[in-house]
Structure 1
Amino acid sequence: MLRDKTILITGGTGSLGKALTKHIFENFSSIKKVIIFSRDEQKQFQMAQEFPDKLYPQIRFFIGDVRDEQRLIRAFQGVDIVIHAAAMKHVHLAEYNPDECIKTNIGGAQNVINAALQTNVSNVVALSTDKACAPINLYGATKLTSDKLFVAANNIKGSKPIKFSVVRYGNVMGSNGSVIPFFIKKKIEGVLPITDTSMTRFNISLQGGVEMVMHAIKHSWGGEIFIPKIPSYKVIDVATAIAPNCKHEIIGIRPGEKIHEEMITASDSFNTYDLGKYYTILPSIPNFNIDDYLVAFGANKVNEGFCYNSGTNSEWESVESLRKLIKEHVDNSFQY
């Protein structure tokens, strides 16, 4: 699948970018080149220590910002596949700095599309978030806009053999800024801040996120939004799993937060199909034959009105399963 291919990852020094890089090198020894594109030179320096030239001669580091279209065009020269992971993602910071969030998440997405169309990129996979589904905060609204841009890009590619698709998933366990490492650090204080006792979130491991991206690279026809079937957890259960003896301080939800997250709304159900391991939301007017797509993947249309919500999910993590996952995916030395 990736033999002699060059892959570029925007925001490649983030948690998922590093996990993708590791996965690619471990499973595709014939890869031609992996380019890490990001704007933080310190993070690139640190990542270069994890992937030294002698062991990973195919890796390259490229300083740049997705806000800079010309820099992207230069970086995309000779690139076959782009994984767009760069984003401003902290909800409260986006609320306080809306113009900066818009420049990166919307302007940056359009710049990636334009650069891909002006070069010989053949496949673009953009990372989304559950917060893009029925958004109530600016971060979610910008990511929904980004999703729409990438889906619509398939309509303006002309004769270019390029595909744009999106992967949307929930909270990545142990990623930068997520609640689990936050609680692990806070437990020494004896009190964990809880926004709301009924709050739930979807949960996916870094490896699960990586597998979704690889699925999209291999199977996308262009215009899909892929969504994984994953369990939910109660935030209060995460707190109990990490620090059962800590007190809980209820602090209320922050601006722009939801009690429960969605990944598919009832309105999306008219274009949503069950692929087995994943759901996919297809474009309203796809540039391929839907019947051919359904046959190729054994897909089935979901019932009208179907929605995928972390609060009404049929699969849940328990306190014990969360402890096991934390030790496996976040902190090998974890003890409660």
Structure 2
Amino acid sequence: MSMLSGSSVLITGGTGSLGKALIREILDNHNVRRLVIFSRDELKQLEARRLFEDDSRLRWFIGDVRDRHRLERAFHQVDYVIHAAALKQVDTAEYNPFEYVETNVRGSQNVIDAAIDAGVKKVVALSTDKASSPVNLYGATKLCADRLFISGNHYAAAYDTRFCVVRYGNVMGSRGSIVPIWKTMAARGESLPLTDNRMTRFWITLNQAVKFVLDSFEMMQGGELYVPKIPSVRIAELATAIAPDARTHEIGIRPGEKLHEEMIAADDSRRTVSLGSRYVVMPHLAGWGYKPPKDGIAVSDGWSYQSDGNEHFLSVDELRNMISEGL
């Protein structure tokens, strides 16, 4: 039986691509009593209500994570929270830096405080590969959010609430995916823009991301940063898989963008263990009684998890199959 069975679950930012995939999985397979969607956009909520045919278990809260009082109202009698709300566009962050601080940093602290005060049992916060050794403001705000959630276990130690973080790479099929954009351009006979032919990225499907998030509720003690073992892609090969006959042209790396992504930095290797299909970065300090996973295997000192040094790269054929199946 699922840990979520019979419980009340809330998703912040629940009308995005991952949020909707989580809604479908939770409604179909986890027998929840109530599923609360907390987000800012009333139009996206209306579209999602229609998509899920006004399922009687769903509740809809218009609100912003910047508003702690609204979070406190929404968290009433909630057992589990998935924190997916964030501002995410790298270039937009450089033009509007403090807006990202307000949502990604202050909003995260509001979620932490509201969860503790409401007696939420567990919170899983979603991170990004850009939070590891960040070179842009978006990544820096997400790294700060990660640390807030991990450290939130310290002052929740006297309570039942526990927090963990999950970090993964680019999600295939998400709203921001390059795949549908390149498909449209190729159909028009246009040249596909590549930032750099050498670029690599981590790659995960929506279904994999959903499973990883929900499995983390089962495993977490509080204080972990979970990273899935997922393949990498070469961006040039992704273009070939989408449109083998299309022309391409390089446009150069955008401000704040990396040539290769990283999910675990070398300096974190001393706290990282391999555990089945994931890595676990353990907390620096753990005054709430955290214990290292019994079956975890320590990675080598100085090891890092980077997209260009990954053991598994998806081939053009694998990418093409995934795209054709809509994964």
Residue number among 310, 314, 317 corresponding to 1:313 in the alignment: 310
Q: Which runs of 5+ in 1 are unaligned?
A: 331-336
Q: What is the rounded CA distance, in whole Å, between the counterparts of 1:196 and 1:151 in structure 2?
A: 35
Q: State how far apart, in whole Å, the 2-side matches of 1:116 and 1:110 are.
A: 10
- Tell me the distance in 1 between the aligned counterparts of 2:96 and 2:183: 28
| Counterparts of 1:170 and 1:294, CA distance in 2 | 24
1:62 shift after superposition: 0.7
> 2:239: which partner in 1?
239
Secondary structure of 1:172's aligned partner: strand
Amino acid in the other structure paired with 1:327: S
Alignment of 1:1-336 (within 5 A): 1-29=3-31, 31-53=32-54, 56-187=55-186, 188-287=188-287, 292-295=291-294, 298-330=295-327
- The offset of 1:288, in angstroms, is 5.7
Cα deviation, 1:241-271, whole Å, max 9, x if unaligned, reads 1111111111001110000000111101010
Separation in 2 of the partners of 1:146 and 1:18?
23
Question: For residues 325 and 109 of structure 2, what CA distance do their matches in structure 1 show?
Answer: 37
Offset at 1:286?
A: 1.9
Shift of 1:289: 5.7
Aligned amino acid, residue 239 of structure 1: A
Q: Provide the rounded CA distance (Å) in 2 between the counterparts of 1:252 and 1:191.
A: 15
CA 1:9–1:273 in structure 2 vs 1: closer, same or farther (change >3 Å)?
same
Consecutive unaligned residues of structure 2, counting only runs of 5 or more, are: none
Contact 1:190–1:245 (CA under 8 A) maintained in structure 2: no
Is the CA contact 1:155–1:287 (under 8 Å) kept in the aligned structure 2? yes
Secondary structure of the 2:308 match is coil
Q: Which one-letter code corresponds to 2:261 in the other structure?
A: E
Could you report, residue by residue, the CA deviation over 1:156-181 in whole angstroms, capped at 9, with x for unpaired residues? 01421111000000000011112212
d(CA) in 1 for partners of 2:96, 2:189: 30
Counterpart position of 1:334: none
What's the % identity of the aligned pairs? 49
Aligned equivalents of 2:167, 2:157: Cα separation in 1: 26
* 1:237 aligned partner, one-letter code: E
Contact 1:69 1:111 in 2 (8 A): yes
SS at match of 2:273: strand
Distance in 1 of aligned mates of 2:288 and 2:147: 18
8 Å CA contact 1:174–1:329 kept in 2: the answer is yes
**How far 1:329 moved relative to its partner?**
2.8
Partner AA of 2:21 in structure 1: A
| Cα distance between partner residues in 2 of 1:227 and 1:286 | 19
Please, which moves more after superposition, 308-317 or 94-103? 94-103
Determine if contact 2:157/2:288 at 8 Å carries over to the other structure. no
- Give the direction of change, closer, same or farther, for the CA distance of 1:301–1:79 in structure 2 (3 Å limit): same
Q: State the alpha-carbon separation in 2 of the partners of residues 65 and 327 from structure 1.
A: 36
> Once the 2 structures are TM-superposed, how far is the Cα of residue 185 of structure 1 from its aligned partner?
2.1
- Please give the alpha-carbon distance, in whole angstroms, between the structure 1 residues aligned to 2:266 and 2:298: 13
* 1:37–1:62 contact (8 Å) kept in structure 2: yes
SS at match of 2:259: coil
Q: Match of 1:134, SS?
A: coil
SS of the aligned residue for 1:118 comes to helix
The CA deviation string for residues 169-200 of structure 1, in whole angstroms up to 9 with x for no partner, is 00000111122122122212421000000000
CA distance in 2 between partners of 1:96 and 1:186 (Å): 28
Give how far 1:293 is off.
3.3
**3-state SS of the aligned residue for 2:292?**
helix
Q: CA RMSD in A?
A: 1.2
Counterpart contact for 2:153–2:288, Cα < 8 Å? no
Shift of 1:316: 0.5
The letter of the residue matching 1:154 is: N
Q: Which amino acid in structure 1 is aligned with residue 128 of structure 2?
A: T
TM-score of the superposition, structure 1-length normalised?
Answer: 0.94
Secondary structure (helix, strand or coil) at the match of 1:255 reads: coil
Q: Take 1:46 and 1:168, find their aligned partners in 2: how far apart are those partners?
A: 28
The 3-state SS of whatever aligns with 2:310 is coil
2-structure distance, mates of 1:190, 1:326? 20
